């Protein structure tokens, strides 16, 4: 059996060597006589796995002791409510930037708990550019400023970190975490659903500045209270042990690739190759402002959309899978996270070249 190139936006392709290691360790993790899935989360073996994963992600992302790293559950979407419940504190409102479908969902959920000021939106141009920060209507009294550095569906990525003027900056890094260097010290809170660059779905990694702990509203469910989760080393209840273990294997793999800086260079190269090809070939179009094009999710449309099915069928036949765009936007989308090898991008370009020649 050979592995396909899987361009799915998430759950996404994982490094093959990680899957091989997980397979090899499946029945007997290092002489314990059991799989990681079967271990007590309080036992020495799992505690070591958990602590090593945290240490490695701290090292990879440059996370200081001023921050707690939490391994929570419920995916990134659960954070859409966890964040306002914990961070609104005695304030009445929070600022949100709307750059696409994921920001929109975060905004809708936050509105259940307080006033949301949408300080800027690119909805007017179909979410194809990032609103210039000079035009944002932020408030000094906001509890926090939330944005989505990479819109996974639209393929729109910030090429700068907003200046939040002292208001805690909150970022949904689900589809960009660990894909390029980021200065964590600029953020109050970063969260990322795992299923793109970290590991299996369901797990969500939260990096929170410690001074933001302890502000949860009293009706906050215990399982959503950052202080409780931090005080208990993310083991207030039974954590997603196997996902945590796999995340740890991915972190080791990323370190072996040279870390986030080296990975960022590879990601830049992969993205530039694909955008370069799309821009040079009149059969394909990417609608995003070139300054704000995502390195991770590259949407494109065929000039003749009647050929969409033929394109996807031909791609599938070559083992280039999951290229259909999100159901809400159509077209195509190639997600090329850390674990997508450059050879996968090359194969895709080769196929796109041939398809355009035959059908163009």
Binding-site sequence positions for pyridoxal 5'-phosphate: 76-77, 102, 152, 172, 195, 237-238
Coil, helix or strand at residue 179: coil
Annotated binding site for L-glutamate: 42
Nearer to ligand PMP, 196 or 215 (CB): 196
Q: Which residue has the tokens 């809400």?
A: 328
φ, ψ dihedrals at 145, nearest 5°: -120, 120
Regarding 147 and contact with ligand PMP (CB under 6 A), the answer is no
Using DSSP's 3-state secondary structure scheme, residue 62 falls into coil
Q: How far apart are CA 256 and CA 247, in angstroms?
A: 14
CB 298 within 8 Å of CB 336: yes
Distance CA 229, CA 189 (A): 15
Query: Between 241 and 280, how does the x/- string for binding to ligand PMP read (CB under 6 A)?
Result: ----------------------------------------
Helices (H), 88-128: 101-110
Cβ atoms of residues 263 and 178 within 8 Å: yes
Residue 335 binds to ligand PMP (criterion: CB under 6 A): no
Stretch that binds ligand PMP, among 71-79, 139-147, 266-274, 350-358 (CB under 6 A): 71-79
**Shortest distance in whole angstroms from residue 151 CB to ligand PMP:** 6
If one asks whether residue 331 binds ligand PMP (CB under 6 A), the answer comes out as: no
Q: Is 255 exposed, middle or buried (0-12, 13-18, 19+ CB in 10 A)?
A: middle
CB of 240 to ligand PMP, least distance (A): 12
**In the numeric block, which tokens belong to residue 140?**
């000094």
* Of 75, 155, 188, 199, the one binding ligand PMP by CB under 6 A: 75
Least gap, CB of 157 to ligand PMP (angstroms): 10
Which is the catalytic residue, given 95, 172, 215, 244?
A: 172
Task: Establish whether 102 is a catalytic residue.
Answer: yes
Binding flags for ligand PMP, 175-214, as an x/- string (CB under 6 A) = x-----------------x-------x-------------
Alpha helix (H) ranges present in the chain?
16-24, 44-61, 75-87, 101-110, 226-231, 241-256, 259-280, 308-317, 342-359
Q: What angle do CA 113, 116, 117 make, to 5 degrees?
A: 170
Residue nearest to ligand PMP (CB): 75
Q: Is 196 a catalytic residue?
A: yes
H/E stretch holding 157? strand 156-157
DSSP state of 26: S
Catalytic residue among 29, 95, 196, 270: 196
Instruction: Supply the minimum distance, in Å, between the C-beta of residue 104 and ligand PMP.
Output: 11
128: left (phi over 0), alpha (psi -120 to 50) or beta: alpha
Tell me which stretch binds ligand PMP (CB under 6 A): 12-20, 167-175, 218-226, 330-338: 167-175
Given its phi and psi angles, is residue 167 left (phi above 0), alpha (psi -120 to 50 degrees) or beta?
Answer: beta
User: Taking the complex as a whole, how short is the minimal distance between the CB of residue 353 and ligand PMP, in angstroms?
Assistant: 29
The residue within the footprint of ligand PMP, chosen from 98, 121, 174, 286 (CB under 6 A), is 174
**Total residues binding ligand PMP (CB under 6 A):** 12
* Choice among 29, 102, 136, 244 that is catalytic: 102
Strands 297-302 and 169-172: unpaired
Active site residues: 102, 172, 196
The site for ligand PMP (CB under 6 A) is made up of 10, 75-77, 102, 148, 152, 172, 174-175, 193, 201
């Amino acid at each position: 059996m050979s592995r396909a190139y899987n361009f799915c936006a998430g759950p996404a392709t994982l490094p093959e060597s990680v899957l091989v290691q997980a397979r090899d360790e499946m029945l007997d993790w290092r002489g314990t006589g059991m799989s990681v899935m079967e271990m007590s989360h309080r036992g020495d073996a799992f505690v070591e796995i958990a602590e090593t994963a945290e240490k490695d992600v701290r090292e990879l992302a440059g996370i200081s002791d001023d921050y707690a790293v939490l391994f929570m559950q419920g995916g990134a979407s659960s954070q859409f409510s966890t964040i306002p419940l914990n961070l609104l504190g005695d304030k009445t409102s929070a600022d949100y930037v709307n750059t696409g479908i994921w920001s929109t969902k975060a905004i809708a959920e936050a509105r259940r708990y307080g006033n949301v000021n949408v300080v800027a939106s690119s909805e007017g141009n179909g979410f194809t550019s990032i609103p210039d920060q000079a035009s944002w209507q932020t408030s000094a009294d906001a509890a926090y400023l939330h944005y989505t550095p990479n819109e996974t569906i639209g393929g729109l990525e910030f090429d700068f970190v907003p200046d939040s003027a002292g208001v805690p900056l909150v970022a949904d890094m689900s589809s960009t975490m660990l894909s390029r260097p980021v200065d964590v010290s600029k953020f109050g809170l970063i969260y990322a659903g795992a299923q793109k660059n970290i590991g299996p779905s369901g797990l969500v990694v939260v990096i929170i500045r410690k001074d933001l702990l302890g502000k949860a509203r009293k009706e906050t469910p215990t399982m959503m209270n950052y202080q409780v989760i931090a005080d208990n080393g993310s083991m207030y209840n039974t954590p997603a042990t196997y996902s945590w273990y796999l995340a740890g294997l991915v972190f080791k793999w990323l370190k072996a690739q040279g870390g986030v800086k080296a990975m960022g260079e590879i990601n830049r190269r992969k993205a530039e190759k694909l955008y370069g090809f799309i821009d040079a070939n009149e059969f394909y179009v990417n609608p995003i402002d070139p300054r704000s094009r995502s390195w991770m999710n590259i949407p494109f449309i065929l000039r003749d959309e009647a050929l969409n099915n033929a394109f996807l069928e031909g791609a599938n036949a070559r083992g280039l899978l999951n290229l259909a765009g999100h159901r809400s936007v159509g077209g195509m989308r190639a997600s090329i996270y850390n674990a997508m090898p450059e050879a996968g991008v090359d194969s895709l370009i080769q196929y796109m070249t041939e398809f355009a020649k035959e059908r163009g």
